[in-house]
């Protein structure tokens, strides 16, 4: 259980630190100061008591619960990507990948709540079938130089090493937090694109 708690602690520490850094708007002004703030926050969100002796990480994890291995790997890649100053920087996930994950999540959670006769979540308890599907998919993505392939491979290793308390493979690949973040991101992008089209049509 120590490894599970440690893994989840790392995910939440990086997630909250990155969120607070970008809320500060520092990355737009200074890479040095935003990096320094990120390092300081990784300590602050863990050791500064906010409510009844609990840190921010403990409070948020108590509300949300554990997140998937894939979320942790994606978060690490996003952090490295955000602090990358090269001109060739590309998004960690492209639009097609975001849409695909959002649709899979929608089908998974709707079936879990009984909206479909098929319970897709139950297939996560049949790891050999799922393992082959995810392995072939990750191999195809890695051959096309997509980082999502790496994320899926690490999630499979996480399942093999039992980095989470769940025995369902889906819990290592997707979680409500990751799904909602991608869904909101897609909606914001669609809304922003519509606003740009409307502005262009006025001229």
Identity of the highest mean pLDDT range in 16-25, 51-60, 150-159? 150-159
User: Do 56 and 106 belong to one domain?
Assistant: no
Is the per-residue pLDDT at 3 higher than 80?
no
Q: Dig out the tokens for 2 from the structure.
A: 């120590």
User: What's the rounded mean pLDDT across residues 77-99?
Assistant: 76
Largest CA distance in the chain: 61
User: Do 45 and 103 belong to one domain?
Assistant: no
Is the per-residue pLDDT at 203 higher than 70?
no
Give domain status of residue 111, yes or no. yes
Domain count, the chain: 2
User: What pLDDT is recorded for position 201?
Assistant: 42
Give domain status of residue 79, yes or no. no
User: Do 95 and 188 belong to one domain?
Assistant: yes
User: Do 42 and 131 belong to one domain?
Assistant: no
Identity of the highest mean pLDDT range in 9-13, 149-153, 176-180? 149-153
Alpha-carbon distance of 186 to 12, in angstroms, equals 23
User: Do 108 and 59 belong to one domain?
Assistant: no
User: Do 110 and 171 belong to one domain?
Assistant: yes
Confidence class for position 56, pLDDT limits 50, 70, 90: confident
Tell me the H-state helices in 48-169.
56-64, 69-82, 95-112, 127-143, 147-161
pLDDT tens digit string along 103-143? 999 999 898 888 888 888 888 887 788 888 898 999 999 99
User: What pLDDT is recorded for position 169?
Assistant: 92
User: Do 127 and 48 belong to one domain?
Assistant: no
Give domain status of residue 71, yes or no. no
User: Do 143 and 174 belong to one domain?
Assistant: yes
User: Do 56 and 123 belong to one domain?
Assistant: no
pLDDT tens digit string along 152-171? 999 998 888 888 888 899 99
Q: Dig out the tokens for 186 from the structure.
A: 């897609």
| Domain, as residue range, for 136 | 88-193
Say which residue, 2 or 91, is predicted with more confidence.
91
User: Do 104 and 169 belong to one domain?
Assistant: yes
Q: Dig out the tokens for 22 from the structure.
A: 């970008």
User: What pLDDT is recorded for position 28?
Assistant: 62
Is the per-residue pLDDT at 200 higher than 70?
no
Percent of the chain that is helix, strand, coil (3-state, to 5)? 75, 0, 25
User: What's the rounded mean pLDDT across residues 177-202?
Assistant: 65
Identity of the highest mean pLDDT range in 28-37, 88-97, 142-151? 142-151
User: Can you count the helices (H) and strands (E) in the chain?
Assistant: 9, 0
């Amino acid at each position: 259980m120590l490894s599970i708690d440690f893994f989840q602690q790392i995910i939440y520490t990086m997630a909250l630190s990155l969120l607070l850094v970008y809320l500060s708007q520092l990355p737009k002004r200074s890479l040095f100061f935003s990096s320094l703030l990120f390092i300081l926050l990784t300590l602050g969100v863990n050791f500064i008591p906010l409510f009844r002796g609990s840190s921010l990480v403990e409070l948020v994890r108590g509300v949300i619960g554990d997140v998937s291995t894939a979320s942790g790997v994606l978060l690490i890649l996003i952090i490295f990507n955000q602090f990358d100053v090269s001109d060739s920087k590309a998004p960690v996930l492209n639009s097609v990948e975001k849409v695909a994950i959002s649709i899979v999540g929608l089908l998974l959670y709707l079936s879990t709540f009984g909206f479909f006769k098929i319970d897709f979540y139950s297939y996560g308890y049949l790891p050999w079938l799922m393992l082959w599907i995810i392995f072939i998919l990750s191999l195809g993505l890695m051959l096309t130089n997509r980082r999502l392939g790496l994320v899926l491979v690490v999630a499979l290793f996480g399942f093999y090493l039992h980095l989470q308390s769940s025995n369902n493979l889906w819990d290592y690949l997707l979680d409500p937090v990751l799904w909602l973040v991608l869904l909101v991101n897609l909606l914001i992008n669609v809304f922003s694109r519509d606003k740009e089209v409307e502005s262009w049509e006025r001229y």
